[in-house]
Each structure stands twice: as structure tokens, then as C-alpha cells.
Structure 1
Amino acid sequence: MSTVEHCLYCLEALAAHLEDRKPMTLDQVQMSWAEYISAANDADDDADELAKRLPALRRLAASSSSSSTAASASSSSSSSTTSLQQQSGVATPATSVSSTPPPTIAESPLFVTWNTLSGRGGEHSLRGCIGTFEPHELGEGLSSYALTSALQDTRFSPITLSELPSLEVAVTLLTNFEDAADPMDWELGKHGLRISFLYHGYRHGATYLPNVAPEQGWTKEETISSLMRKAGWTGRRDRWRDVNLKVVRYQGREESLEYEEYKRWRDWVVARQEDK
């Protein structure tokens, strides 16, 4: 399962590259984030007052003082992309600080996606997405693919330093690879797809991560048709079933983080270093 720390690490890798400085290691990011969380929890403010002012803590307080449904409890603590609010100089993360940490993953297939946020509603525009289906050690893999997807995705120009404030990064660690019995043997929102097929004497292939189809509002058939187009198929859309498709389904939960939230954490890290 991808984590906030994985997202921080990708942003740190890209920011350090563009700022021409040495990046923190994944271990350093993870340790620093734990200290950051602890500092937020130790803020010398009355909990009730904090609950009034901070949406994340207000939701946590509500869930602990009333019989919330399982769905609402999950919704209140599921997203790390809710803004981090500053309190006593320390931003309070929107993730539940009392939740059990996810199990540590040493290596995994992975994808790193960059989006540009624009407008008042924070509309998302894809800025780069590259990954690997081969397991990589996360310290090396996340850093490498963070830079590759930001700078070498041929669909886009390389991300520049001036773009950092508008960026969001998303990390997906891939698991549970299975051969699908047929092109429809998968679930929307649960499975990502990797397809391959022969067309005009060449083998073609493409993938969509689990979140793509729900975000686009596609049906399963629309997802398969679009994925085939992505792979290079130019036949009639209503004839896609004539192609002998090999479909591999997989799972992976995406975690995302905006640069603004990374910057709050990074500023805290720098301030601590200066105080030492």
C-alpha cells in the first residue's frame, strides 16, 4: 500500500533535482514524517478548540463521540490529499494519527503520476505517468520513476522548477497480478488492467491503473476500447471483441499529495535543521 511518505519522497526527489541539491533518503523522509506527526500531536492547544478549527480533527472528534457508520468513518480518514492545516507552526495532517501504520513494503511494481492543479476547483491535468511492472526496491524505484515520469514522459515537456507549486504526485504500488478469464473478468475501481494483442503483425500493449476508469466515468467496455486505442489499435470501436486480447488484472491503492503540503513539511524539516 502506498503512503504519504512515498509521495513526499517523490516530491523530494523531483524538487531536489530541480533545485540542484542532495535529496533526503526514503528512510530519512519516513523518520522525519513520524517526527512531524508527533510534533503536531504535541501542540499545546486545547483539543476542543483544535477540533473547532481543524476539519481533520473535527471529523476525528465526531467519529469518536458518536456512533458513526463504517462508511462515514472510513471517509473521514481515508484521503491524505486534504489540506494540511498549520497549528503552532506545525501542520496537522489530514490522515488519522491514531490509525494503525500500514505494513512495511520493501519492494514492489510501481507507478508515479504527476498532475497539474489549476483553477479554483483544483482541476487535474495529467503531467506525466510512468512506472514498472517489475518489483523495485522502493528507495531506488520511487526516486527513479519520480524523475522519469516528470522529465521523460514523451507525451509532455519536462517539468520545470517554476511548475512545482502547481503539482500533485500520486503513487501506486501494484499487487495481486492475475490472468483474467476474459476481457470482462475484472471490477471497476478495484482492478487495473494490462492488455496485449497482435495487430498488423506487431504485438501491442498498454495499461490503465485502477483509478483511471472510475475517474473517467467509463464502463468496462469503454475502458477496454480506450485501452486498446492507447495501445495502438485503430479498428472500429464496435469490433474490439474480434481481437484476441490477453488481459492481466492487478490491484493497487493510490496515495496522492499536493506540493503545498510537501512544502509545509519541507519547511518544517529545514527549520529544525537550522535550529540544531
Structure 2
Amino acid sequence: MATFAHCAYCFESLSASLERRQPLGLSNVEALWDKYNSVPENDEDSRIDSEEASLQMQDEDGDLEMEDRSVELGPPRPAAISRLLAPSPSSAPSTPSSRSTTSSRTETSSASSKNSSRTSIFSFGRRSNRHANHTVSSIESFPLFVTWNAVSRSGNKSLRGCIGTFEEQDLGKGLASYALTSAFEDTRFLPITLRELPALECGVTLLTNFESVSDPMSWDIGKHGLRISFNYHGRRYGATYLPDVAKEQGWTKEETMVSLMRKAGWTGRKDDWTKVDGLQVIRYQGKKEQLGYQEWRDWRDWVEEQGFGPSLLN
């Protein structure tokens, strides 16, 4: 499953790109995230300064695991990825488009909930230690999606970018790549700017348990995401919704299917959705984890206090 550290790594990748510096690598983000969350927030006696942190990172032989603080740096900004076939960028990024299609490279965007303001506002405190133990290794590969939401001062959320892939990705490279692709190349929106960073929330979904189903209603709201394809007017169409979309929208299964087909490009009567040719439905699972900017910023400030400051690009 996705972790808060995965979201922090996406923030790190996006921030580093916008600030023209090298990001920390995923393994370092995970290690430093765990260390940060292992320190009681209100226990001043247990706080460690950068010198003590350095000593604690020594192994039994006295050698620094991160010699000279040359931590693993994340990959540089990936080469531009083919833009999605979607409407022209909107000058008002707070309103998500209702339609996009999947590119030939299996990159795809997923609609965010227009009612996502139902979810909780930023939590500015540290995450509890139960999130420090990762169930996913940083060297594992998964299909994945990275979602950026803009969060207003009142806590209302609006989609700012969401792109992912159904091809398995090494998490270190895949999360960094799609953090930037969803921020800069979701053609429903203008690219995210540095000025917007403090208002963002990041969501990461790792996809698992893909199953082809013969009954298009054989899935559970809130548990399964859907990937569909079908023939219409001599063309093949396809689209996906992540597992949280139908639940956040308050849709029934049928409403979800009709909306998903509309997203793909189907323009038929809603009562005729079952009559399209060659409808194929794949259900999958994946729990989204989300992290707000301020939580990432508090962690990043702590990281810099330990001596891991930003490394500017030439």
C-alpha cells in the first residue's frame, strides 16, 4: 500500500524541480521520515540536533552510513512524457474536466471527486508512528497514480492534476516521474507553479489485484477501481476511475459506469450503456494515501536542521 513517505517523496520531487535543486532519493526520504516521526513532537528532551543525528547514523564500526552527508539523490527531472489527449489547458485550474482519454503509453488521468471537500482538512501534526513501518519496499514495482489537489483555506479540495500508469514502475523512478508528469503535463490544467506549492495536497495510489470480470457490476464501491474499454462508432475507447472516486462522489454502481463511459468519450443514451460493443471491465484495488504541504514542509525543515540542506542545480 502507499505510505505517507511516498507522498513526501512526491512533494520532494516536485519542490526540487520547481526550485532547481536535486531531490533526496526515495530510500532516504523513507528513512528520514521514519526518524522524524519517531521523535515525540512535544518531548524537547528527546529532540536531537544535527550533530547527534550524525552520530546516530554511524554503524558498529564507526563508519557513517551517509558519509559526508552525501545522501542518495533522487533522479533528475525525467524527459518530457507524451501529453495526454485531452482538452486544452484551463485558465481556471480549480475545475477538473469531465473527460480525458488514455494515451498509447498507458498513461492515464483519473477524475477527482468534485465533492472531495467532504474529506478532512489538512492535519498539521506529525503522523503517528504506526505509519512508520512500510509494507512496501522502495525497490518494488507497482502500477501507480499520483494526484495533486489544490486545497482552499476552508479545506475544500479541487483536482489540480492526476496521471498514472498501469505498467509496473520501480517506485523510486516511477513516483518521481509521475509526480512531475501529473503536476506539469495533465493537459486539463496549466502546469503547477512554485507559488501554488503551499496550497497543494499529494495523493499516491499503488494499484494491485487486477481482475477481469464478465459482469460489469461485479465490483465494490470504495474497494475497487475500474478500467474499461469498449467499441463505439468504429473506435475503441477506454478510461479508468481509482477506487476512491465512486465513494467520494456518492455514486451508485450504474452511475459510476455511465460516468466512466462518458469520461472515455461515449455519447449514447445513459440507459444504453450496457449495449455498447466489446465492453471489457477490469477491477483493481489500491488504497490512496494523502499528505498536505505543511506536513511535508515541517518534515523538510527538520531534515535541513539535521544537515541535509537543498543542493542547487547548476
> TM-score band, normalised by the shorter chain?
0.7 to 0.9
Matches within 5 A, 1:45-56: none
1:124 is the counterpart of 2:154: no
What is residue 26 of structure 1 aligned with on the other side?
26
Matches within 5 A, 1:114-153: 114-120=148-154, 122-153=155-186
Q: What's the offset of the Cα at 1:99?
A: 7.5
Query: Are the counterparts in 1 of residues 214 and 280 from structure 2 also a CA contact under 8 Å?
Result: no
What is residue 83 of structure 1 aligned with on the other side?
123
The amino acid of 1:183's aligned partner reads P
Greater share of residues in helix: 1
Taking structure 2 as the reference length, the TM-score comes to: 0.71
What is residue 267 of structure 2 aligned with on the other side?
234
Partners of 2:21 and 2:299 in 1: CA distance: 17
The amino acid of 2:32's aligned partner reads S
Are residues 98 and 271 of structure 1, via their aligned partners in 2, closer, same or farther at CA, if it must alter by over 3 Å? closer
Q: What's the offset of the Cα at 1:31?
A: 1.0
Partners of 1:214 and 1:262 in 2: CA distance: 27
Secondary structure in 1 matching 2:210: strand
What is residue 233 of structure 2 aligned with on the other side?
200
1:162 is the counterpart of 2:202: no
Secondary structure in 1 matching 2:21: coil
What is residue 282 of structure 2 aligned with on the other side?
248
**Cα deviation digits, residues 115-162 of structure 1 (max 9, x gap):** 000142x11100000000000100000000000000000000000000
Partners of 1:141 and 1:80 in 2: CA distance: 27
Partners of 1:17 and 1:30 in 2: CA distance: 19
Secondary structure in 1 matching 2:148: strand
Query: Are the counterparts in 2 of residues 16 and 23 from structure 1 also a CA contact under 8 Å?
Result: yes
**Cα deviation digits, residues 53-94 of structure 1 (max 9, x gap):** xxxxxxxxxxxxxxxxxxxxxxxxxx9986233xxxxxxx23
1:257 is the counterpart of 2:291: yes
Are residues 102 and 176 of structure 1, via their aligned partners in 2, closer, same or farther at CA, if it must alter by over 3 Å? same
The amino acid of 1:235's aligned partner reads G
The amino acid of 2:249's aligned partner reads Q
Q: What's the offset of the Cα at 1:218?
A: 0.4
Unaligned 5+ residue runs, structure 1?
Answer: 47-78, 86-92
**Cα deviation digits, residues 82-113 of structure 1 (max 9, x gap):** 6233xxxxxxx233448854242611000000
The sequence identity of aligned pairs, in percent, is: 57
Partners of 2:121 and 2:157 in 1: CA distance: 13
The amino acid of 2:20's aligned partner reads D
Which of 243, 247, 255 is residue 214 of structure 1 equivalent to? Answer: 247
The amino acid of 2:229's aligned partner reads S
Q: What's the offset of the Cα at 1:14?
A: 0.3
Are residues 100 and 142 of structure 1, via their aligned partners in 2, closer, same or farther at CA, if it must alter by over 3 Å? closer
Are residues 108 and 257 of structure 1, via their aligned partners in 2, closer, same or farther at CA, if it must alter by over 3 Å? same
Which of 147, 154, 171 is residue 113 of structure 1 equivalent to? Answer: 147
Query: Are the counterparts in 1 of residues 3 and 134 from structure 2 also a CA contact under 8 Å?
Result: no
Are residues 97 and 177 of structure 1, via their aligned partners in 2, closer, same or farther at CA, if it must alter by over 3 Å? closer
Secondary structure in 2 matching 1:223: helix
**Cα deviation digits, residues 188-242 of structure 1 (max 9, x gap):** 0000000000111111000000000000000000000000000000011111111
Aligned length: 235
Taking structure 1 as the reference length, the TM-score comes to: 0.80
Q: What's the offset of the Cα at 1:45?
A: 6.9
Secondary structure in 2 matching 1:16: helix
Are residues 31 and 83 of structure 1, via their aligned partners in 2, closer, same or farther at CA, if it must alter by over 3 Å? same
What is residue 87 of structure 2 aligned with on the other side?
none
Partners of 1:200 and 1:96 in 2: CA distance: 53
Query: Are the counterparts in 1 of residues 37 and 129 from structure 2 also a CA contact under 8 Å?
Result: no
The amino acid of 1:16's aligned partner reads A
The amino acid of 1:36's aligned partner reads Y
Bigger relative CO (Cα 8 Å, ≥ 6 apart): 2
The amino acid of 1:12's aligned partner reads E
Unaligned 5+ residue runs, structure 2?
Answer: 47-118, 310-314
Partners of 1:8 and 1:81 in 2: CA distance: 17
